[in-house]
Amino acid sequence: MRLGVLTGGGDCPGLNPLIRAVVKRGILELGYDFVGLENGYMGLIEPDLARPLTLADTRGILPKGGTILGTSNRANPFQYAVREGEKWVERDLSARALERAKELRLDGLIAIGGDGTLSIAARLAELGLNVVGCPKTIDNDLSGVDQTFGFDTARMIVTEAIDRLHTTAESHDRVMVVEIMGRHAGFLTLESALAGGADVILIPEIPYRIEPIVEKLKSRARGKRSFSIIAISEGAAPKGGSLAVLEKAEDVPGRGVVRLGGSGKVCADLLAEHIEAEIRVTVLGHLQRGGAPTAADRLLATRYGAKVLDLVRDGQWGHMVALRGGEIGAVSLAESKKQKRVDPSGDDVRFAKSLGICFGD
């Protein structure tokens, strides 16, 4: 068995432990060969972006963040950016990807990524390519999966950041607005903010009004709590307002989605019209993606990497591994086309509100 391995979409801690588990179990127990496809699906399109993956490549990578294979969120074979004359255009090169898999003599492909990467994998499977998937995303927004690796590490990083902002906010009597990754799902913001003791939590699933937030801050001031922490997802927006966009999809060929950013500033500007307190915005950005994975993410990624080879061995193509109810099983890649969201009426939101946390609704 000769398998291609790629990591697509945004990087996150845990990718290297998963690659390590796949290669070590595959070679030592099953006798498989592996080809590393570099920079996501670019490795199935461009020449010279494929290389052997051996046991030597796995040495020392368990604690490393990022991915030794590189990644890209602008390499969709169905909307691939191609230079034609003076401009870039998007072309469907999926046939080229299938042909490249044959040239590399691949019996199958292991695609490691989030909703975008796995949705592409599902489409390639429909065209006849043998594909299995491993779910990763710091947003934890994949349907059919209780938790993706990368989430625990990002949650820890954000929680620590909120802890640190508490001390400087209290020292200066400031309102600190922390902008956290989360395009359409607020799991990372919600859980990190709960763990960090934020006073206001703003997530994409609950469009916010500024008035309840203003009242919350004034109430804290009356209670001699002259500082506050507001945790806001990059995808959160005022009720009736629009998302804060840094870059439109059409401005970057091959991207496919808008680049969000600025939700923290939008919130801060709205607040500044109603309160006199000093407001500061902190955008955590790619700090949330970097660094060594936590023990929990190393273990989950290792379990995913080992289990995905069961799918290969048993011919369960078109499926991905998934943690559900504490056990690792398999679900259809079609599940990756669905996204889960925070339930505004769910226990986490309900309990947070019972603790006095404001969601702006």
For 55, residues 6+ apart whose C-beta sits below 8 A from its C-beta are: 23, 24, 27, 28
Element at 97 (helix H, strand E): helix 94-103
347-354 vs 187-196: helix crossing angle, rounded to 10: 30
- For residue 272, the tally of other CB atoms under 10 A from its CB is 13
Beta bridge partners of 32: none
User: CA-CA distance, 15 to 114, in Å (whole number)?
Assistant: 12
115-126 vs 94-103: helix crossing angle, rounded to 10: 80
Task: Point out the catalytic residue in the list 139, 152, 199, 297.
Answer: 139
Give the C-alpha distances (Å, rounded to integers) separating 261 from 226, 284, 290, 320: 28, 11, 18, 31
Instruction: Judge whether 297 counts as a catalytic residue.
Output: no
Task: Show the tokens assigned to 291.
Answer: 């660094």
Considering only CA atoms, which of 271, 273, 245, 272 is closest in space to residue 259? 245
3-class DSSP state of 328: strand
Residues forming the active site: 139
